[in-house]
Amino acid sequence: MKNVAMSEYFDERTLGELVCRHVEVDSGRLRFERVPTGHFNTTYFVLGAGRPLVLRIAPPDDAGFVFYERGMMAQEPFIHRIVRERTSAPVAEIVAFDNTRMHIDRDYLIMERLPGTPLTQCRVNARQLERILYQVGLYLREIHGITADKYGYLGPHRCMEPQDDWVSAFRVMWNKLIDDVVKAGYYNADEERHLRGLFECYRGVFDRPVTSRLLHMDIWAQNVLVSDGDRVTGIIDFDRALWGDKEIEFAVLDYCGISEPAFWEGYGRARDTSPEAQIRQVFYLAYEVQKYIVIRHYRNADPKSAYRYKEQSLRLLAQLE
């Protein structure tokens, strides 16, 4: 496993071959525009294909990953399809997913390009932002209405065994993430033992009836497309999707600045604020923060930043001691 910048360069001939395997078009007409906002995959806008498309190429197999990132592109076709079928959320059609490795040594997919600009690149006033967050709340509640009978990362990337209940799934996820941080060299034996034991100490607050819901797990301003100032035209990047407790999604929204009053108005349901839910929120937020230890180490080769995320994680969890 090596440190690697996830965003790479591919020549236009290679890109054209990838697209022409799945789209009937003269490769000489194709043009590719690099998308600078992609942090994990290498992404291009495809021009000249008859309709606007996006080409996303996964990182190499020997890159450093959080456990659920390896091969996670494989779950997007199914998730996009069911979200498009069962909700009104603006989600792209997946034109093709290719993991044959015939023309390139990694997975890639081609999808329609949705209209709009990432919210990170938009200048909006407070009123417009409220309308945007309200729509995100509406769409996310619809997405959370899609349910399953198993828990965890259920996609074909098979990063964990599906579990029969949420407490078992989150226990697997928690320990796998600690495994990743230990492997990267950021938790010593005492810290590892302490963090594993901390979950066991509080395991009871997770052991309750939970509907397994589809969770996006990466909704932040960059993954929300906006047109006409305040109209949400796209929810993108479902590759980190998880099935389980909606409270863990809420913790990500907290961390990413999405769970403002306008979001909750759109979502239409209040969150649980019981003492037990607040304990779960600490664990869920720590789960989100710890991933950046691994990401900063492998993806960015930035140990100072990785250590800052470690300290943030330990401070969060110290609230429970």
pLDDT tens for 309-319 read: 999 999 999 99
The pLDDT of residue 5: 47
CA distance 276 to 160: 26
Taking the chain (321 residues) in runs of 10, the rounded mean pLDDT of each run is 61 95 92 88 96 96 94 97 98 97 94 97 96 98 98 96 98 98 98 98 98 98 96 97 98 97 97 97 98 95 97 97 80
Taking the CA atoms of 145, 147, 153 and 157 in sequence, report the sign of the dihedral they define: negative
pLDDT, tens only, 8-58: 889 999 999 999 999 999 888 999 999 988 779 999 999 999 999 999 999
CATH pick for 12-113 out of 3.30.200.20, 3.30.365.10, 3.40.50.10860, 3.20.20.120: 3.30.200.20
- Per-residue CA distances from 118 to 76, 216, 279 (Å): 19, 17, 33
| 137 neighbors 266 (Cβ within 8 angstroms) | yes
Identify the CATH assignment for 118-318 out of 3.40.50.300, 3.90.1200.10, 3.40.50.2020, 3.30.1330.20.
Answer: 3.90.1200.10
Show me where the domains of the chain are located: 12-113, 118-318
Question: CA torsion sign, 105 to 161 to 142 to 276?
Answer: negative
Return the ∠ at Cα 119 (arms to 265 and 116), rounded to 5°. Answer: 105
Tell me if 77 sits within 8 A of 58, measured CB to CB: no
